[in-house]
Amino acid sequence: MRVFTIAVVAAALAVPAFANEKPVELKKAPGVEKVEGNCAACHSLDYIQMNSPFMSAATWDAEVTKMIKAFGAPISDADAEAIKAYLKANYGAPP
């Protein structure tokens, strides 16, 4: 019972910490709906914005391929190409 009480109190204290968070807004461009629909199913879209200064076109290609082949993301070939194109056009590091 004591563990349950501690867990409830901890959860209640954590809720206000999330209250001020703003949802991630990706750049509105062709392919954004594929990114939001596929990528957000497994992880936060914050990763896109946080990693964009370091990601070249080749790195975005490799990252999407890794998500599909290594992590088993259920993304169709057509969606993968749209996601790669969107990420490279909107969040790729300058060459």
Q: 55-70 pLDDT, tens per residue?
A: 999 999 999 999 999 9
Residue 26, pLDDT score:
94
CB-based contact 64:13 (threshold 8 Å)? no
Enumerate domains of the chain plus CATH numbers: 24-91 (1.10.760.10)
Give the pLDDT score at 20.
64
Q: With a cut of 50, which residues of the chain have pLDDT below it?
A: none
pLDDT the model gives residue 76: 97
- pTM listed for this prediction: 0.75
pLDDT on residue 33: 97
Task: Tell me if 73 sits within 8 A of 42, measured CB to CB.
Answer: yes
